[in-house]
A and B are shown apart, each in its own frame.
Chain A
Amino acid sequence: MKQLTEIQTKALKDLICRIADDELILGHRNSEWTALVPILEEDIAFSSMAQDKIGHSLALYQLLNKLGEPDPDAIAFTRKEKDFKCCHLVEYPIGDYDFSLMRHFLFDKSEAIRFDLLSRSSFEDLANIAKKFRGELKYHTMHADTWLVQLGNATEESKARMQSALNQCFPLALGIFEPGEYDEVLSSENIFPGEKVLQGMWLDSIKIILDSANLSIPDIDTSDRSYGGRKGYHTEYLKPLLDEMTEVYSIDPNAEW
């Protein structure tokens, strides 16, 4: 790709920041399950995937740094709540395991498709990051799909709980695809085809699994899409999470680890 123009740089930074913040916050949230997951084997798997997410955010923050932003630690630990661009879905507390599993399913499906689209991005650095995490995301979605189909077809209780988790998560998940200010620039420069395209692909892909899990997708037209996160308007849950996450860093930001 040729030298980036000012608007292209802005668009890129906005896109990368949105993705990275989602990864960081959900990675942190999911790590809250460590030692508490109902099954030991699943505890290890879920915690490992949470660490993968933090790894994804690090790679993206490093790219932001390359584009002129502060170093990754400073981006992750010193920004104010309003400067975060994560969607509301990732901010919610972990709830019961059904909620966390459903969120993991809905989010990681979008993440896998997003990274697949980005692997063909005209912005090579971003394409390389997307390619690097392909294998990890393949496992993440396989993990989520398998659980969904298992629980959706198991007992009356498991089915009811997954359906109710889906009903709660769905409008929040639509917030992942909140239209961005720079969607047009991104798509015309072949950097990223845009949130609308992604949402369409995501709907097709979750439908296949939700059908096999015998769960019904809420009506998208009557769903109250949880928008605002991409513009810095967050739920009441983000601030306490940031306070906790940055607690140690804030004691001595210059400490060598």
Chain B
Amino acid sequence: MSIKSLDPRITREQLPDESDNNPIKELHQWQTYEVFHQSKKGDRHIHVGSLHAPNAEMAILLAKEQYARRYKCVNLWVVKTSDVFITDYDDEDMFEANQEKMYREAGGYKVMDRINKFKTEHKKN
């Protein structure tokens, strides 16, 4: 079998297809870390992306140039992606908002009638 490429020049070369001879080995890629960036002391840390690293120390090192090179940063967090507990996209429907929430809003209470009445009267004076 020779390589069939979208590039006709490569196909014409009739190069042997050895793609199956080099299966990706385990640990071919490092694990990923999630990076959080703080732009001012006291501010919350904001998730800015992820990167590959062999351990947390290296992750911090690489995150500095990756995510804190251009904008002001005073502090970085890195967290192993596999340590982040996540919801399932199958459960996405639990976030769906119920449109009829009058019962949860202050405006839905009877007392509002009295408040509004008081306001109107007060305005006249």
Q: CB within 8 Å of B: which residues of A? A: 39-42, 44-45, 48-49, 139, 142-143, 146, 150
Contacts and interface: CB of A to CB of B under 8 A. Distances in A.
A21 to B, nearest CB: 25
A49 B61 CA distance: 13
Contact of A45 (B55, B57, B62): B62
A146 to B, nearest CB: 5
Given A44-B65, A45-B66, A48-B65, A146 B52 contact: no
A244 B82 CA distance: 46
B62 A42 contact: yes
A45 B54 CA distance: 16
Nearest to A41: B62
17 contacts: A39-B52, A41-B53, A41-B62, A41-B66, A42-B62, A44-B65, A45-B64, A45-B65, A48-B65, A49-B65, A139-B64, A139-B65, A146-B58, A146-B61, A150-B55, A150-B57, A150-B58
Contact of A44 (B53, B54, B55, B66): B66
Interface residues of B, number: 13
A45 B52 CA distance: 13
A223 B52 CA distance: 39
Nearest to B30: A39
B87 to A, nearest CB: 28
B54 A150 contact: yes
A232 to B, nearest CB: 35
B79 interface: no
The main secondary structure of chain A at its interface with chain B is: helix
Nearest to B33: A41
B44 interface: no
Contacts of A41: 51-53, 62, 65-66
Nearest 8 CB-CB pairings of A with B = A45-B65, A41-B62, A48-B65, A41-B51, A146-B61, A44-B65, A41-B66, A44-B66
Contacts of A39: 52
Interface centre among A40, A41, A42, A150 (most CB of B within 10 A): A41
Contacts of B114: none
A98 to B, nearest CB: 16
B110 interface: no
